Amino acid sequence: MTRLQRWIIRVTLPAVALVFSALGVLAQQGDKGFVPLPPGQSLQEQLPATPLVFTAYAFVWVALLVYVFILFSRLKKVERELADLRSKTRASRA
Amino acid sequence: MTSHSRLVPLLLGVAVVMFAAAPFVIDTAPYESSMGLVQRIFYFHLGAAMTMLTSGLVCGIASARYLAKRSASADHLAYAAVELAVLFGTMVLVTGPLWARKAWGVWWDWEPRLTSTLVMYMLFVAYLLLRRFGGAGSEVLSAAIGLFGMALVPFVYISVNLWRTLHPKTSVLPTLPKPMLVPALFCLAAFLILYWALLLIRMRMEAARAEIDAAYLSLED
Amino acid sequence: MIGVFRAAWIIARKDLLVETRSRELVYTTLFFAVSCVLVFAWAFVREGKPIDNASAGVLWVAIVFSGTLALGRAFERERQSETLRGLLMAPIERAAVYLGKLFALLVLMILVEIVLVPIVALFFHAPIGRAPWLLAGLLVVGTVGFAAVGTLFAAMLVRAQSRDVLLSIVLYPVTVPVVMTGVQGTAAIFAAEPDFGLAQTCLTLLIFFDAVFVTLALWTFAPVMHE
């Protein structure tokens, strides 16, 4: 494992632990719980919820895909430029 | 820096599989009795929110380390973490109102947690703007912002809750019954694994950019 | 090597002396604050009567906006005459520079507030006589919190590009707790049924915030200005 990875683990693990413990504390204070539907009872909807749910999930997916796409294209460009520069510096030193 | 080249595809692969499986896992959870179908948004909303918080914390810790040690990798980590915090924060602030529309009847309510998230989101965006438009030397400035941001979190929470004392509180983070806990944790795990992969990729990009800048400088000499 | 507080006082005195001679910041900041209040008057006065309890918010927004301008201007002055480098090279602790600039800015902002509060009370029918000390306490402590963060950020940004707009962009999210609590406390005093307990809670929270953020700013000022 590189130093970088060790570093990341050293930072992110405590962060995750902190967030989860905060979550635990907050969860105790929750005054309105989610109550699961008793089995056998069917849903009664007024405002159609399906488009809202669909939009929410679609947005998350689209946002992730767009970001990953942009990230990889930026990364390719940067690595190409880096390889280019590396050969130039090697040539100028030779 | 390239020895984790196997870790990233692995993380990405796992995350993609988990996200693909998510709808089925979520389907195993029962419907919530008062909110019905729209409460399903919760599973992704929670994942995004926790990831945003984690990323904000990571940025804060990395910023503190950068201010103390001026280590370049700390700076790269902070920058990558903020960008991802904005990404996941955007998801929270979009899925939240979509849920609220059905659950509370309005697109936006000054509910303490949503408000606090908005404030922190603005701070993360401010960090990005400072990095982008601040010119040379903005790494140190943004590290200070990152550090202040982390110190700010408890105050934002306290002051927003105080601000809302006169109004009834609605809790977004409840005590979850068991059959809902499993899909929630599953989605959360998916989000965090994906976050880790993206963080590594983004950091690699930052490090490459720094190397390019250094190479340009040495070429000029 | 003279002590931190003495050095800070010298720096603050320098700023205040410059200000007494030119009076640039006092006049422009004050006038801007009053213009702000007037804009809010056009927005929030309906049929000749101000809407309920708008005064607390208007007061704080005017303070924040005019304070941001004053911050930017105060450090711009240093930058233009290249005195900041001189300050940083002087044989004093970095913290003294921060404290000195902070104190001078505080004096300026409190002077502006002394004029602004009666004006807001006049236009928005705010009962400032109800709990004058509590109100003054909230304003002073809140201003300290705002100025503490603002002085640090303005000093940091002095050499950055787009520094004017960036100062607002980074300052406002960080000072949300101060402004929110300040408005909450002030509104509690001005309300039709005043809640002095809430106002005192807000004051306590503001004092706590000030303590944490002045300390944090003192820690970060030296490493950040160390370029």
Question: Number of Cβ pairs closer than 8 Å across B and C?
Answer: 90
CB contact under 8 A, B135 and C162: yes
Contact between chain A and chain C (3 or more Cβ pairs less than 8 Å apart): no
Burial class (CB in 10 A: 0-12, 13-18, 19+), B209: middle
Tell me the chain B residues in contact with residue A83 when contact means C-beta distances shorter than 8 Å: none
Residue C141: what pLDDT? 96
| Residues A8, B9: Cα–Cα separation, whole Å | 17
| Nearest Cβ partner for C224 among B141, B151, B165 | B141
Contact between chain B and chain A (3 or more Cβ pairs less than 8 Å apart): yes
Contacts with A, B 138-197, CB within 8 Å: 169-171, 173-177, 179-180, 192, 194, 196
**Interface-testing mutation among B6, B58, B83, B187, with chain A (most A C-beta atoms within 10 A):** B58
Among B152-156, B163-167, C52-56, C184-188, which stretch is predicted with the lowest mean pLDDT?
B163-167
CB contact under 8 A, A15 and B54: yes
DSSP C93: -
pTM: 0.83
Residue C142: what pLDDT? 96
Residue A36: what pLDDT? 67
Nearest chain B residue (CA) to A85 = B215
pLDDT in tens, C82-113: 787 788 888 888 888 899 999 999 999 999 99
Tell me the chain C residues in contact with residue B82 when contact means C-beta distances shorter than 8 Å: none
DSSP A36: B
The count of structural domains within chain C is: 1
CB contact under 8 A, B122 and C172: yes
Nearest chain B residue (CA) to C169 = B126
| Residues B201, B208: Cα–Cα separation, whole Å | 11
Burial class (CB in 10 A: 0-12, 13-18, 19+), B45: buried
Tell me the chain A residues in contact with residue B38 when contact means C-beta distances shorter than 8 Å: 49, 52-53
Structural domain span for residue C50: 4-225
| Nearest Cβ partner for B44 among A3, A60, A79 | A60
| Residues C129, C110: Cα–Cα separation, whole Å | 18
| Nearest Cβ partner for B176 among A34, A60, A82 | A34
Along the 94 residues of chain A, how does pLDDT read in single tens digits?
Answer: 566 667 677 777 777 777 766 666 655 554 445 666 666 555 555 667 778 888 888 899 999 999 999 999 999 999 898 888 888 878 877 6
Q: For tokens 């000030």, what's the residue? A: C210
Please tell me whether residue C136 adopts helix, strand or coil conformation: helix
Residue C39: what pLDDT? 92
Enumerate the domain spans of chain A. 3-28+49-93
Question: In which residue ranges of chain B is pLDDT below 70?
Answer: 1-4, 32-35, 165-178, 221
Residue C4: what pLDDT? 85
Residue B166: what pLDDT? 47
State how far residue B179 is from chain A, nearest Cα, in angstroms.
9
CB contact under 8 A, A34 and B32: yes
Please tell me whether residue C100 adopts helix, strand or coil conformation: helix
State the CB neighbour count (10 A cutoff) for residue C73.
Answer: 16
Residue B20, chain A, CB below 8 Å: the answer is no
Residue B24, chain A, CB below 8 Å: the answer is no
DSSP B30: P
| Residues C61, C72: Cα–Cα separation, whole Å | 17
**Interface-testing mutation among B6, B40, B107, B167, with chain A (most A C-beta atoms within 10 A):** B40
pLDDT in tens, C144-180: 999 999 999 998 888 888 888 899 999 999 999 999 9
Please tell me whether residue B175 adopts helix, strand or coil conformation: coil
Residue A60, chain B, CB below 8 Å: the answer is yes
| Residues C138, C56: Cα–Cα separation, whole Å | 11
Q: How far is CA C56 from CA C60, C116, C197, C222, in A?
A: 6, 12, 17, 36
Tell me the chain A residues in contact with residue B200 when contact means C-beta distances shorter than 8 Å: 5, 8
Task: Give the pLDDT band of residue C186 (cuts 50, 70, 90).
Answer: very high
Say how many CA atoms lie within 13 Å of C21 toward its Cβ. Answer: 5
Provide the ipTM: 0.85
Q: For tokens 């709808």, what's the residue? A: B23
| Residues B37, B124: Cα–Cα separation, whole Å | 32
